[in-house]
A and B are shown apart, each in its own frame.
Chain A
Amino acid sequence: MIRAFGIIGIALLAGCSEKPVDEAAFGIAPENIRSGYEFLTAETQALQNDDFANPGLLWVQTGQGLFQDGGCAACHNDPGTEFRSVASTFPALDPQSGKLINLEGRINLCRTRHQSLPELPYESDDLLALTTFVKSRARGGTIDYQITDALQPHFAAGQNYFYSKRGQFNLSCNQCHDENAGAKMRGDTVSQGHINGFPAYRNDWQTLGSSHRRFEACDIAVRADPPALGSQTYLDLEVYLTARGNGLTSESPAIRR
């Protein structure tokens, strides 16, 4: 048993020496950053380009209804202007509690603090619809997410998760999405793993899902035990990946495989 721990310890040390945190934070040079859109087939791209055929807009429509009827519009009366830069501002630290929250968390804070309503469960249809509606106001804008000193620990934790091997396949995120982006994995083209299109409609799911659901799907695919959606681990990873996608266009609700 002690010996087994020793081997794990060495493996961890070896993992750290491969990618120290203070080295270049991202495995892809800024000029080589490509959206997941560019790794899709022409047919799937056409679905995203068509503002009627994109099924993600069903959730935008639902979210808009919830936004108007659920009381959000009483404060946020001009969502088109107010949420224009929302893709570059979340995840953020809540000034009151100091906790890291993403857009889903911000919507739930609005509900509990200002509306005396219960939180919506993560990945519930209403929360997805509201998030997608708000995020879609930022569609077409360039992502420029700044890591402040206060966000730095979360960024480092997310980076650590990205470079840590896990699961029975013993793979880390960067092995696919930095080192093998563009290569084929069976019938699929491996993307760079950006989250600029999320919440996105995935043909695989036949429904719309959040970036955290996408993280979970990746973790399950390498046969790891995934953390919960909305957990601190995934929030930190979202911080890292949002910054990693700086310069991309916000596409949510995008179409992904």
Chain B
Amino acid sequence: MRNIRLSVPDNAKSGDVIELKAMIRHDMESGYRVNIQGQTIARNILTFFECRFDDNVIFSADFHPGVSANPLLKFHMRAQKSGTLTFEWTEQTGQIFTKTAALAVLE
């Protein structure tokens, strides 16, 4: 179970630009390190992130081995209506980690 932290405003006024923040616990093992026996530690990274508002993609990112462990993302969206935000990370193994948050837009 991956530890995911999200920061989404509880509510926003219609038309406001809001900041979204997302962090996931992941070692992001680059594949360039060696262990104490001198053997390469196998690469294991997240490769893709996507944030959807209802069914529309509002932000996506490709991750590469240079991204730090426990990556933090900050991005913005314009709040227009209430809905559900889905934050989704894809590991190189194909495993997907998801967390959702509700956004309430006041008129």
Contact = CB atoms under 8 A, between A and B. Distances in A.
A195 interface: no
Nearest to B70: A55
Contacts of B28: 206
A62 interface: yes
B69 A58 contact: no
Contact of B68 (A52, A57, A61, A206): A206
A207 B69 contact: yes
A189 B7 CA distance: 33
B35 to A, nearest CB: 15
A167 B70 CA distance: 34
Interface stretch (B19-27, B55-63, B82-90): B19-27
Contacts of A57: 5
B23 A55 contact: yes
A84 B45 CA distance: 38
Contacts of A52: 5, 7, 21, 23, 72
Contact of A207 (B3, B5, B27): B27
A53 interface: yes
A101 to B, nearest CB: 28
Given A57-B5, A58-B5, A62-B3, A206 B69 contact: yes
Interface in B59-100: 68-70, 72
Contacts of B72: 52-53, 55
Nearest to B72: A53
Contacts of B25: 55, 58, 62
A61 B5 CA distance: 9
A8 B70 CA distance: 47
Contact of B27 (A61, A62, A206): A206
Interface residues of B, number: 12
Residue of B7, B68, B70 with most partner-chain A CB within 10 A:
B70
A58 B27 contact: no
Interface residues of A, number: 9
B7 A58 contact: no
Contacts of A55: 23, 25, 69-70, 72
A150 to B, nearest CB: 39
A55 B70 CA distance: 7
A200 to B, nearest CB: 14
Contacts of B7: 52
Interface in A41-61: 52-53, 55, 57-58, 61
Given A52-B5, A52-B7, A58 B68 contact: no
A170 to B, nearest CB: 24
Interface string B9-25: 00000000000010101
A62 B23 CA distance: 14
Nearest to B24: A58
A57 B23 CA distance: 10
A124 to B, nearest CB: 15
8 contacts: A52-B21, A53-B72, A58-B70, A62-B3, A62-B25, A206-B27, A206-B28, A207-B69
Interface of A: 52-53, 55, 57-58, 61-62, 206-207
Interface of B: 3, 5, 7, 21, 23, 25, 27-28, 68-70, 72
Given A58-B5, A61-B3, 5 more contacts: A52-B72, A53-B72, A55-B69, A55-B70, A207-B27
